[in-house]
Structure 1
Amino acid sequence: MKIKTTMTILVLALLAVATPLSAQDFSNMDASPMDAASFPSSYRVSDKLIKIVYSRPQLKGRDLASLAPAGKVWRTGANEAAELTLYVDMKVGGKTVKAGTYSFFTIPGEKEWTAIISKDVNVWGAYSYNEANDVARVSVPVSTGDSLEAFSIAFTESDNGVDMNLGWGTVRVKVPFTK
């Protein structure tokens, strides 16, 4: 009986010590979940030209101008700066950008936005943005469409390459990438 009691105490002590070691703390769901868009968009096509990974903030009754202020560099999404990968050399605003991974920033405006490809990577927000590290910049016109609650990016094929379409609220911006 004494051995059985001792074994029970030993097993319970081991469980008490081991349980905290195996417990996991998971954070709550991010309010601006990460997403990715690529071209071609079909999962069946592995030979991609371009991909962007970004977080999708929601309007939640707020004004777009307060979330992405005009004239200020924006991370183009939420959380980390959007991460753009080109799998082939492409032109943006007449400048050739070599295949590779970059950060993608924008500067919103009422009639046009400036799209920026930066060699800085793994950056949070736009707090450490440095214009000296820009690889390419292009100004693109703003158009309007149906309202989107969540910031979204999608690619469409164009005559000379692919267009990156940004949409949030009723604002639409198309950034052309050519081969």
Structure 2
Amino acid sequence: MRRFLLFVGIGVVVIILLFVGIDTMNTRYQKSFSPEEAVEFEQGKLEIEVHYNRPYKKGRVIFGGLVPFGKVWRTGANEATTFSTNKDIMIEGKELKAGTYSLWTIPELETWTIIFNREHGQWGVNSEGEPNRDPQKDVLTIQVHAVQQQREFEQLTIEFSKMKEEAEMVLLWDKTLVAIPFQLKQ
């Protein structure tokens, strides 16, 4: 009986280790091409955090190619990008309440539509490859200018820049720069 229980115990441990190993390898393989990143912004009592996956250009045409113009994009790879703020903020004169949102964009050559959606944590695309976003849950939509520049960014980058009372969240990839100005709601 002891021998039987020993074999069962060893078998259970082996199966658990096998599943943990497969899950770890699967996660590493899927995300190695577009590593996860978190960027933070702090100014006074305002704290903002963005979680996203950073795909590489790899010689591809990005905007108007890999990421089509005029179509909703998850603004990164893998899971939908998340944007969290601990305070109400103003973006292009519109209020965004404190909370966590998924961040979606609709790229165009000269103007981008930026969408904050109250649903977050989902994979960026569904099984058909379409954006995994419910437009009924959009809470804020704005338009900002896209700037084409000489410098090329190999990997999608999201960063923040401060300017007195205002700040910007800046998206950079390929030769495109998009700045989204925001400030603490007074």
Alignment of 1:56-135 (within 5 A): 56-64=54-62, 65-126=64-125, 127-135=131-139
Q: Structure 1: where are the runs of 5+ without partners? A: 1-6
Q: Report the CA distance between 1:142 and its aligned residue.
A: 1.1
Asked if 1:52 corresponds to 2:57, the answer is no
Return the letter of the residue paired with 2:11: V
Return the letter of the residue paired with 1:103: S
Q: Report the CA distance between 1:19 and its aligned residue.
A: 4.6
When residues 19 and 134 of structure 1 are mapped into structure 2, their CA distance, relative to the original with a 3 A threshold, is closer
When residues 96 and 112 of structure 1 are mapped into structure 2, their CA distance, relative to the original with a 3 A threshold, is same
Q: Measure the CA separation in 2 of the matches of 1:116 and 1:83.
A: 11
Identity of aligned residues (%): 32
Aligned to 2:128: none
Judge conservation of contact 1:38–1:48 (CA < 8 Å) in 2: no
Q: Measure the CA separation in 1 of the matches of 2:112 and 2:14.
A: 51
Q: May I ask how many residue pairs the two structures share in their alignment?
A: 169
RMSD: 2.5
Q: Report the CA distance between 1:96 and its aligned residue.
A: 0.9
Return the letter of the residue paired with 1:82: T
Q: Please, what TM-score do these two structures have when normalized by structure 1?
A: 0.83
Aligned to 1:39: 41
Query: CA offsets, 1:65-124, max 9 Å, x none?
Result: 322211001000001111000111001121111100001111000011111111121222
Indicate the larger mover: 85-94 or 119-128: 119-128
Give SS of 1:17's match: helix
Larger C-alpha radius of gyration, 1 or 2? 1
When residues 15 and 123 of structure 1 are mapped into structure 2, their CA distance, relative to the original with a 3 A threshold, is closer
Query: CA offsets, 1:136-161, max 9 Å, x none?
Result: 11111111251111101000112332
Which structure 1 residue ranges, 4+ long, deviate > 2 Å from structure 2?
9-19, 158-161
Give SS of 1:123's match: coil
Judge conservation of contact 1:92–1:137 (CA < 8 Å) in 2: no
When residues 22 and 124 of structure 1 are mapped into structure 2, their CA distance, relative to the original with a 3 A threshold, is closer
Choose which of 2, 11, 24 in structure 2 pairs with 1:17: 11
Q: Please, what TM-score do these two structures have when normalized by structure 2?
A: 0.80
Q: Measure the CA separation in 2 of the matches of 1:128 and 1:78.
A: 12
Aligned to 1:138: 142
